[in-house]
Amino acid sequence: MRKVLALLAAGVVFSGLGLLRADDGDKKITIKGDGMCAKCALKETKTCQNVVIVTKDGEKKTYYMAANKTAKDAHGSMGFCRASKDHPAKVKATGTCKEEDGKLVFTAEKIEKIEE
């Protein structure tokens, strides 16, 4: 009986952690970094896709932008497709992020070019 109660308690604790993790996906975040095209600059995809590489404390994270209107509009107008690893487009994006298939997928609500 004790084993069943212990397993039940563990199940309740871990199911609650899953709910907390799911709520984090709807939280708006802002990222700043190097914008470029996953196809043209990184040679990672077969079609054009915006990517923002953020470097924080020496660690690089690559955010792949979901294909929505905001990302499509910014692709040409902000220089994502013309950018390279050596000359990226400096951008700031606000939206939500989630992990899919081991990649960070960022759904942008707003993308701005940063002038340096």
pLDDT in tens, 73-98: 998 888 898 888 999 999 999 999 99
| CATH at residue 74 | 2.40.50.140
| Rounded CA separation 88/51 (Å) | 10
pTM of the predicted protein model:
0.75
| DSSP annotation of 1 | -
Domain that holds residue 45: 28-113
The model's pLDDT over 62-74, given as tens digits with 9 standing for 90+, comes to 999 999 999 999 9
Q: How far is CA 89 from CA 7, 13, 70, 100, in A?
A: 52, 44, 16, 25
Phi, psi of 70 (to 5 degrees): -60, -45
Determine, yes or no, domain membership for 6. Answer: no
Beta-bridge partners for 60 = 55
Residue 82 lies in a domain: yes
- Token pair 């400096």 is at which residue? 90
Per-residue pLDDT at 55 = 93
The total of structural domains in the chain comes to 1
Question: Which tens digits make up the pLDDT trace of 14-59?
Answer: 544 444 444 455 799 999 999 999 999 999 999 999 999 999 889 9
Per-residue confidence (pLDDT) for residue 20, from 0 to 100: 41
Supply the pLDDT for residue 17. Answer: 42
Residue 79 lies in a domain: yes
Q: How far is CA 99 from the centre of its chain?
A: 8
